[in-house]
Structure 1
Amino acid sequence: MEFRVLSELCERLSSTTKRNVKVEMAAEFLKRLNSQEVEPAVSMILGRPFPRWDQRTLDISWATLSNIIKRLTDVDWRTFSKVFRETGDIGSTIKTIFERSKVRRQKVLFEKSLTILEVRRVFEAIAEASGQGS
């Protein structure tokens, strides 16, 4: 399944406080997955790149993440901090900064959507690349 669909589910989940609605949305989504996609999808819904029992981490610090966002969007530290104080959440901060920035998405001849499993493989590659000198 496309990662975009999972991302849209997470947006909908975050927009409601009703537990029963969240359970229903998640259940309907999970029914549509093949067996290999269930575990990565559940981990991602819970905000984790890997399941809790998996010792791997992405080892991406707050400083690294904020520097990447600032470099991509040309946003200054003051603006970044202001948006973070407004949202209180790094994910919402990044989303807001990208929405406000004039960064243009790179156009490619053939655009291919990422799947849940492809995103998991990217997380695995990042986890493997972590360490001294990486």
Structure 2
Amino acid sequence: MYDKKIKYWVEISEDDLETSEILFEKNKLLFSGYLLQQSIEKILKAYYQQKLNAFPPKTHNLVYLSEVCGLFDELNEVQENLLYQLNPLNLETRYPEYRVKISKSLTKERLAEILKHTKEFQRWIKLKL
């Protein structure tokens, strides 16, 4: 189905999404959100790898990744908003000065919506691979 390099990115994207769902069910919202960001980062890197036949850039910025692989202009409003919502979760979950701020804004309802859109986005990219 996928070549070995793309398969690598897809599999770890799927693992991150699955682990995020487990953490979500256990109300570990901060790290669930972090893994949603990681899942989309890795599926975007799979797309980059396939489209450009090159190793993806070492960045966690989802908007940038979508731009450099030529995908950003194809995004609908929901997908674009998702990338902007997920972007800070990479940084803000790992550093103490940001954790309190993000914890207050990351409700179960908000994360449920982000989780739903993350699954849809991942599926959409996988169809393009």
TM-score by length of 1: 0.25
Q: Which has the higher contact order (CA 8 A, sep 6+)?
A: 1
* Bigger Cα Rg: 1
Structure with more helix by fraction: 2
